[in-house]
Amino acid sequence: MKTQKISFQGLKGAYSDLACNKFYKEYEPFPCTTFEQALDAVRNNNAFLAMIPVENNIAGRVADMHVLLQSLKLKIIAEHYLKIEHNLMIKKNNQLKNLRFAYSHVHALSQCKKKIEKFRLKPMTHLDTAGAAKFVSESNDEKNAAIASSLAAKIYNLKIIKKNIEDDKNNITRFLVFSKKSVEVNLKKKIITTIIFDTKNKPASLYRALGGFAQNNINLTRLESFFVNKEFKQFSFLIDVESHPKNKSFLKAMNALKKIAYKIKILGFYEASTFRK
C-alpha cells in the first residue's frame, strides 16, 4: 500500500498525474484544484511532495507559478521532463465519423491544430485535458471527443482512436518537485540551483547582477523575468545555474549578486535530469 502522497494540480488523468505515476511510482498521486493548493498540501502535511509543471518547450512558461515562487516556503528537490503525447479519445461505443467537436485545454488544442483540421473537428476549450476526458465520458452526445493523456483514457473509460496527434513530436514539459526539506545530492553529478531575486529597473542592473556567475565560470541554464509591481518599475528574475550552493565559485558569485540585487532566495538545489544530456 502506498503511504506517502504526491500532490499535483488538476484532475486524475492530467499530465501532472502522469508525471507523478512515471517518476514516483511508490507515491499516491493527490489531485488539487490549483497550484497553490498542491503546494499547500505539502506545507500542511497532506502530501509529502508536490509535482508542478513550470515550462513547456512549445507553450512556454507556466505563468501562475512565478507569483507563487516569491513567497514559497518549500524547497525544490528534483526536476523531471515528460514527453507530452496527445490522444484523441471517445466513448467506447462511438466512432470517428460521428465526431464534430474536440474538447481540451487551450494549449493542447493549439498543439494538435493540424490533426484537428484534418479530422474536420471544431476545437472546444476546456479547463484542462483530464477535465475534457471526464466531460466526454459523462456526455451522451456522440459528436464529442477529447484530447488528453493515455492515463485519462484509462481512468474515464474512453477509447483512443488516434494516438500522438500533436503537431510537434518534440513536445516536452519540465516539472519541478517540491518538499519541505532539501535532500542530499550526489556531488559527482551535475547539480542545478534555482534562485530568485529582484532588481531595480535601471540600465545594466541584470548585467551586473549576473556578472559574478560569468566571472566564476558558472553556467546559467535558465533566465526568466517578470514584473513584481503594477508600476512596471521592479523586476524579479528566476535563474537556474549549474552549481551546488556550497561551491566556492558559487559563493563568490552570490557575493557579487548581493551587491546589486535584493530579496535573493535560493529555491532549491537538485541533481540535473538525465534528459539534459
Residue 49's domain comprises 5-83+172-179
Residue 32 has pLDDT above 70, yes or no: yes
Is 132 contained in some domain? yes
What type of residue sits at position 75? Answer: K
| Pairwise CA distance, residues 7 & 41, whole Å | 7
Is 167 contained in some domain? no
Residue 203 has pLDDT above 90, yes or no: no
CATH number at residue 104: 3.40.190.10
In this structure, what DSSP letter does residue 98 have?
G
| Number of independent structural domains in the chain | 3
Residue 204 has pLDDT above 90, yes or no: no
Asked if 78 and 9 sit in the same domain, the reply is: yes
**Residue 190: exposure state from Cβ atoms within 10 A (0-12, 13-18, ≥19):** middle
Element housing 67 (H / E): helix 63-70
- Each residue of 112-125: pLDDT tens digit? 999 999 999 999 99
Is 186 contained in some domain? no
- C-alpha cell read off for 22: 512515471
* Alpha carbon 149 to its chain's center: 15
pLDDT of the residue at 257: 94
**Least reliable range by pLDDT among 3-7, 75-79, 84-88:** 3-7
pLDDT of the residue at 193: 98
| Pairwise CA distance, residues 180 & 83, whole Å | 27
The answer to whether the CB of 266 falls within 8 A of the CB of 247 is no
**Residue 141: exposure state from Cβ atoms within 10 A (0-12, 13-18, ≥19):** exposed
The pLDDT-based confidence of 248 (bands split at 50, 70, 90) is very high
Please report how the helices 205-215 and 248-258 are oriented relative to each other, as an axis angle in degrees rounded to 10.
160
Is 277 contained in some domain? no
Asked if 24 and 75 sit in the same domain, the reply is: yes
Residue 94 has pLDDT above 90, yes or no: yes
Is 206 contained in some domain? yes
pLDDT of the residue at 36: 94
* Alpha carbon 271 to its chain's center: 17
Asked if 75 and 92 sit in the same domain, the reply is: no
CATH number at residue 244: 3.30.70.260
- Each residue of 157-179: pLDDT tens digit? 999 999 999 999 999 999 999 99
- Residue linked to cell 499516491: 28
Asked if 229 and 266 sit in the same domain, the reply is: yes
Is 141 contained in some domain? yes
The answer to whether the CB of 99 falls within 8 A of the CB of 92 is no
Asked if 232 and 254 sit in the same domain, the reply is: yes
Is 121 contained in some domain? yes
Asked if 30 and 79 sit in the same domain, the reply is: yes
pLDDT of the residue at 1: 62
Is 119 contained in some domain? yes
Asked if 62 and 114 sit in the same domain, the reply is: no
Residue 229 has pLDDT above 70, yes or no: no
